[in-house]
Structure 1
Amino acid sequence: MRGPELGPETSMEGDVLDTLEALGYKGPLLEEQALSKAAEGGLSSPEFSELCIWLGSQIKSLCNLEESITSAGRDDLESFQLEISGFLKEMACPYSVLVSGDIKERLTKKDDCLKLLLFLSTELQALQILQKKKHKNSQLDKNSEICQEVQAVCDALGVPKSDTSDIPLLLSQVESKVKDILSRVQKNHVGKPLLKVDLSSEQAEKLERINDALSCEYECRRRMLMKRLDVTVQSFGWSDRAKVRLLSHWCPVGGICCDAAPIISVGKGLPILLSFKPSSLVNLMCCSFISFMNSLLTFIILCCLQGSDWLIVASQEP
């Protein structure tokens, strides 16, 4: 690792001040005279020690380090020097005067103290830049995923393909297409939603967490029941025509697992239990009933979180 290039003493102090200001440091050492005095005092200066502790804690929060610089060893200068030395060695500090030689002789000179501050501050600045780039890339990936989902909706609705990645524009096209389709169907063709309120961002996050928790909780049980159902279905004496029909529906079932999106868009017909004939048994078994119950339970918990009085009424319809 290459350390920052050092010029004259005044230039080093100026570099430290510029870097500290860029890092958002609000302590007492933002004045050149105060910084120079603290560097002369070294570890015996409370302001210098506090700045080292602050820089160390900021660095440790951004990378996985075993060593740390804490205030516990500040009263014992030798222990404090050992903490700083271990921290610098783990960070591969390029300044030999800070990591080698008699530990009691380190950080006794003003230049060495300024080198320590310059190294810690520039390392922290580099870590912050990398962190921002990582966050920016993750946001781009997330936006790309959202764009793909919106494009899939456009394809399903027959919206003309567009090269734009402007999500609000695509959503406005989807809205216009949906309104156009609804204007050409019967009034009661689309049922009313079971959930009539708009979810806030906080409620949506709660729903995601609940759904994830339930998915983990019931994953083993879901696999077991699906395996038992699979064995049961295979043991039946199906006719050749029924086998073809069964396989066309049965294969995708194992991978079905509802996420939170279908839960908030279900209609009022979801809690109604319909009667069925033996001839429709194949289609019934081909439904992912485990995912259905999991998602339904999530929806009930969501309603409880909102304080809603909600009751499932089971009825039979022809």
Structure 2
Amino acid sequence: MSEQVPHRSGFACFVGRPNAGKSTLTNALVGTKVAITSDKPQTTRTVVRGIVHRPDAQLILVDTPGLHRPRTLLGERLNDLVKTTWAEVDVVAVCFPSNEKIGPGDRFLVTELAKVRRTIKIAVATKTDLATPDRIGEHLLDIARLGTETGTDWAEIVPVSSVAGDQIELLADLLIARMPEGPALYPDGELTDSPEEAIAAELIREAALDGVRDELPHSIAVVVEEMGLREGRPAEKPLLDIHANLFVERDSQKGIVIGHKGARLREVGQAARQQIEAILGTPVYLDLRVKVAKDWQRDPRQLRRLGF
């Protein structure tokens, strides 16, 4: 009789300096888009979980904001959120982009992570499609050296490319092998446990960030004020009404987001609506308003109101 493989389930979290490829890696492992990705650093604020379902395992991926030296109250709160997450998950996977040298930001992060004793740590060399084989080899040695210097014991060092799909399955196997034995924690077929409002807000924010100039990435917050199926429509023709506010910090930013005669905001609305419809599987009517919440990143009361 063949021995039955025990079912494993647990939590892994990807960390790394901003823009290290964490969200793209989450999406590649889950096989669909659950975490927002942007070429602007610092786009992830909420902990988005992607869920990898396999017959023998369930891997829940927690995507945290990038750890950075905080300049604002929001920054401090994000860093606290990251450290709390590290202590609660089974494995922390640190992402180091292969096309960039290891820098002070990486060292700061790994030094902080070394203080979390019990959690298993894996190093992931991301974006290998953007580097030569020689550069990747050098990069893997640098990661090993950083582990030694900071007293971090890497359980594995794995090079991957989320874009090309290289070694993504291998990474999933390595993560799952380190999960505790136990039953599935989420129903089969669920890919994320984020409430739909949170997913909609993140996708709107992603669309708003896309293409705005560099002064705005941190300054946009999105709050979904109302979301529900429109009443009086036949069951086979549902329409989801979403009313959301985009908050910026200054009047000048409001103009940038709205664009000439509202053109920019229309583009944002269209892009966000398509993404929301694709994930939720329902036609959407999206109503967006842009409001100013002066210096919200430094104001505890406003941070609370915006969900931080």
Q: Which of the five TM-score ranges fits, normalised by the shorter chain? A: under 0.3
Report the structure, 1 or 2, having the larger strand content. Answer: 2
Higher gyration radius (CA): 1
Higher helix share: 1
